[in-house]
Amino acid sequence: MRIDTRINGRDVVLEIEEGEFLARTLRRYGYLSVKEGCETGSCALCTVWLDNSPVLACATLSGRVSGHEITTIEAVAEEAGAFAEFMVAEGAEQCGFCSPGFTMTVLAMKRELKNPTDEEINHYLAGNLCRCSGYKGQLRAVRKFMGVK
């Protein structure tokens, strides 16, 4: 079936299969920053924005994004790049497979929280799993990126 939607600021028509989830659709259409790490909505590697709020693309039916706006990290390269500088300065990206989804959640958090505590940060990002880094480097990068005092 066909749906009309908006991805990264462009109106697009997507051909999707019934029951297909957004993570698959996006990857099929070449938005390769969207990673998948599980089948149970547990890892948040697939995080994209739906109308500017982070969602799990693996748990969002593609049929339901019709008429909505999707944003992947490709569209926020500048802001993502700014955060990436803090990440690499800490060495907090290891394999990097979790990083795009993590970054999308962090950028959304930055809009929502001002001067958050570590607890608030960890709560907001709790769903984003990372098996490599041990999370502490990510936390240091996030604190600096958010300008936490």
- List of residues contacting ligand FES (CB under 6 A): 36-38, 41-46, 56, 58, 93-98, 130-133
- In our burial notation (b when 16+ CB lie closer than 10 A, e otherwise), range 51-79 reads eeebbbbbebebbebeeeebbbbbbbeee
Using the structure block, give the residue that is written with the tokens 């950028």: 107
12 binds other proteins (CB under 8 A): no
Shortest distance, CB of residue 26 to other proteins, whole angstroms? 11
State yes or no: residue 138 binds other proteins (CB under 8 A): yes
Q: Which is nearer to other proteins, 67 or 122 (CB)?
A: 122
Q: Which residues, numbered 98-137, are part of the site for other proteins (CB under 8 A)?
A: 98-100, 103, 122-123, 125-137
Pair of tokens at residue 2: 């066909």
Helix (H) or strand (E) holding 138: helix 136-146
CB of 35 to other proteins, least distance (A): 7
Smallest gap from residue 79 Cβ to ligand FES (A): 20
Of 67 and 126, nearer to other proteins (C-beta) is 126
* 70 binding other proteins? (CB under 8 A): no
Nearer to other proteins, 67 or 81 (CB): 81
Residues 77, 81, 83, 84: is their CA dihedral positive or negative?
positive
Q: Is 126 exposed, middle or buried (0-12, 13-18, 19+ CB in 10 A)?
A: exposed
